[in-house]
Amino acid sequence: MKNHGEPADSFDGRPVIGICNTFSELTPCNAHFRELAERVKRGVLQAGGFPVEFPVMSLGETNLRPTAMLFRNLASMDVEESIRANPIDGVVLLAGCDKTTPALLMGAASCDLPTLLVSGGPMLNGRFQGRTLGSGTDVWRLSEEVRAGTMPLSTFLDAEAANSRSAGHCNTMGTASTMATMAEALGIALPTNAAIPGPDARRATLAQMAGRRIVEMVHEDLRPSQILTREAFENAVKVIGAVGGSTNAVVHLLAIAGRVGAPFSLDDWDAFGRDIPCIVDLMPSGRFLMEDFYYAGGVPAVMKTIADRLRLDALTVTGKSVGENIAEAVCWDREVIRSLDNPLTSQGGLAVLRGNLAPLGAVIKPSAATPALLQHRGPALTFASIEDFHERVDDPDLPVTADTVLVLKNCGPRGYPGMPEVGNMPIPKKLLEQGVRDMVRVSDARMSGTAYGAAVLHVAPEAAAGGPLALVEDGDMIELDVFARRLHLDVDAAELDRRRVRWTPPPPTMTGGYQSLYVSHVLQADQGADLDFLVGCRGAAVPRESH
């Protein structure tokens, strides 16, 4: 490092702090991270540490093909090996766009060096033609208007520009905001991390404070394994329920728990989150956006509101407990962050469904679905792939009514591969023209955190792994009962056995390279869709030294 002018005593007695940066111009949500990294460095230097910034694979949701989720585990490997192999004592993770947060936390958790995550912050509110627009959520909504013929494409494109007008990630309670909220609720990020907008000067202040704090954490030897406990996961599930967070949080939180070895399962999701009301009125479940959420008090105000349901003794990166962190928190706007006796919906948590159609579980976000569809029985209309769906969805002769259950197969972790966000399949055009805007959809795919609808997701085992989803045929009756947590295929077991004998797995869509490794080793959604050989904490020690 002398080649960039470091005096020989730069490291004397100073913790070396890695700044793990997912900056990339191909990840627009993280494109302001160079400035953020400089602020972390300033904080590290102020506290007597030595900062070293290093790049890792960045995952931009809108640009990566076939889907960013395919690469979450690859990025986590990059993070883990970069942290372990380099001579660093602690690490600040800079994350923003959806998959960057879980990828960084998974990699860091497998090393267990002192770790603190800083999010890039959401974009400012979108405004267009006198109304507020939210990332993703309004793209979905307006794109259906374009398909229904009620909005010209040029207006849609202008709305899109109004929606994406500043540095930061999606400004709805989509996956990126949910992940930032999750990190704060887990205690692995500083209080207020989730909601400060990307361009707000207070985001830079937070980054600088993180730089100072990580140096102290190294001196205190405060590690993720002390923070990412079962109690922390319980808090995260409850807070995600209270904010109406993304269904994607399920797979990511399970994967992070798997890395750190915390006892936390899919059934815990339902148990911890079941009675948590959604109190935050943010899109896609509600009306407001992350900027409003910050002004209302952000995650600390939510945690204060539901404090009697949280594990207040859980330790956080501040060195203090959750209870101590939120002691002074105040809610400044009860329209945005409601009180417990006036929730947006009484059941904010994500519901875990089971039944003969999903023996290992499936997930639905009740707060984003039309209430009347939470109990529904209807005939299946099946699609063998998302391409098959797109080919037929707007066919005027498609045998579909508002009662039909759309069933999409082969979009799971192994089948696609990479479990893309296609589970909120668009409503068939002929139904859109009749005014239908929601219907029950069942798949082994995920859904964008900014999306909404009665979409049953993450069905496990997935169709490509021979799960019962593969055996559904057109006209089979499907029963969804979210209140009873039930997803049932009304076909008798003997008939399903006959179909199973006839079933053959779909041919692989991609071969060679990382994709082959992924398909051979990816776990099902109920285990976080991590690669089997990456589960667990391997520590930061390097047993051999070749220099």
Residue 105 found at the interface with ligand FES (CB under 6 A): no
Which distant-in-sequence residues (6+ apart) come within 8 Å of 51 by Cβ? 17, 19, 40, 41, 44, 45, 211
Choice from 170, 185, 188, 431 touching ligand FES (CB under 6 A): 170
Residue 451 found at the interface with ligand FES (CB under 6 A): no
Between 180 and 408, CB nearer to ligand FES? 180
Site stretch for ligand FES (CB under 6 A), options 169-177, 434-442, 456-464, 530-538: 169-177
Residue 174 found at the interface with ligand FES (CB under 6 A): yes
Which distant-in-sequence residues (6+ apart) come within 8 Å of 76 by Cβ? 102, 103, 104, 106, 107, 110, 259, 534
Choice from 98, 184, 270, 462 touching ligand FES (CB under 6 A): 98
Choice from 61, 234, 268, 291 touching ligand FES (CB under 6 A): 61
Q: Using CB under 6 A, which residues numbered 238 to 267 contact ligand FES?
A: none
Distance in angstroms (rounded) separating the CA atoms of residues 354 and 524? 15
Residue 415 found at the interface with ligand FES (CB under 6 A): no
Site stretch for ligand FES (CB under 6 A), options 166-174, 264-272, 373-381, 434-442: 166-174
Residue with tokens 């529904």: 376
Is the four-CA dihedral 528, 530, 536, 537 of positive or negative sign? negative
Between 88 and 167, CB nearer to ligand FES? 167
Least Å distance, CB 30 to ligand FES, is 8
Least Å distance, CB 176 to ligand FES, is 3
Choice from 32, 72, 141, 169 touching ligand FES (CB under 6 A): 169
Burial (Cβ within 10 Å: 0-12, 13-18, ≥19) of residue 320 = middle
Q: Using CB under 6 A, which residues numbered 133 to 152 contact ligand FES?
A: 135
Q: Using CB under 6 A, which residues numbered 11 to 30 contact ligand FES?
A: 29
Which distant-in-sequence residues (6+ apart) come within 8 Å of 214 by Cβ? 15, 17, 44, 47, 49, 90, 91, 92, 114, 115, 116
Residue 97 found at the interface with ligand FES (CB under 6 A): yes
Are 85 and 50 in contact by the 8 Å Cβ rule? The answer is no
Residue 344 found at the interface with ligand FES (CB under 6 A): no
Between 96 and 277, CB nearer to ligand FES? 96
| Token representation of residue 2 | 């002398």
Between 62 and 509, CB nearer to ligand FES? 62
Distance in angstroms (rounded) separating the CA atoms of residues 36 and 198? 10
Assign 120 to helix, strand or coil. coil
**Among 30, 34, 86, CA closest to 63:** 30
Residue 62 found at the interface with ligand FES (CB under 6 A): yes
Site stretch for ligand FES (CB under 6 A), options 10-18, 170-178, 253-261, 493-501: 170-178
Least Å distance, CB 136 to ligand FES, is 6
| Token representation of residue 19 | 């700044």
Distance in angstroms (rounded) separating the CA atoms of residues 466 and 444? 12
Residue 32 found at the interface with ligand FES (CB under 6 A): no
Site stretch for ligand FES (CB under 6 A), options 74-82, 167-175, 197-205, 248-256: 167-175
Least Å distance, CB 198 to ligand FES, is 11
Choice from 176, 194, 425, 529 touching ligand FES (CB under 6 A): 176
**Among 284, 279, 509, CA closest to 415:** 509
Residue 446 found at the interface with ligand FES (CB under 6 A): no
Q: CA distances (Å), 454 to each of 371, 439, 516, in order?
A: 9, 6, 33
Residues 202-241, one symbol each (x = binds ligand FES by CB under 6 A, - = not), give: ----------------------------------------
CA 384 and chain centroid, separation: 26
- β-pairing verdict for 486-489 and 477-481: antiparallel
Amino acid identity of residue 383, one-letter, is: F
Residue 283 found at the interface with ligand FES (CB under 6 A): no
What is the contact surface with ligand FES in residues (CB under 6 A)?
29, 61-62, 97-98, 135, 169-170, 174, 176
